[in-house]
Amino acid sequence: MALHNMPITYEKIESMFEEKLEKSLQPFTKQLEEVTKAIQFTSNTYDEIIKLLKINEEKKKKLLAENKSLRAELLQSKNEVKMLKESVNDLEQYLRRDCVEICGIPFNNDQEDTNNIVIKVAEAIGVDMAPTDISVSHRLPKRAA
């Protein structure tokens, strides 16, 4: 452009300056737009991650509360099972408190005194026993061969 034949005005200089400036800033403007898009994408991703983190924190709180509740329930169940086992053991021992089976004593007659036989067996093994210690004694029926 030959400017020396034309009169130069302020508007002309300003227009030329803006044109040159725009041309030289164009790569930076494009880079700035790309950086802005990248920042917006990162911001959106960050917002989604924060949202998921909050959701997971709520789920974690609920699971921890449920876990605590289930642990308490399990402990209670374990205690109940222990108590029931002890109760069953006590009942079993109570049922067996008077039960003693003596085998191998030959049958003599229908008039035998089974209490007397029990006392003689007790004496033979060195146990002091009185007739009042025996609640019931009887022979068991013979087993079928």
Which has the higher per-residue pLDDT, 10 or 59? 59
Half-sphere exposure of residue 48: CA atoms within 13 angstroms, side-chain side: 6
Domain that holds residue 79: 10-99
Tell me the C-alpha distance between 46 and 106, whole Å. Answer: 94
Residue 49 lies in a domain: yes
84 pLDDT more than 90? yes
How many domains does the structure of the chain reveal?
A: 2
106 shares a domain with 95: no
86 pLDDT more than 90? yes
116 shares a domain with 52: no
130 shares a domain with 76: no
pTM: 0.48
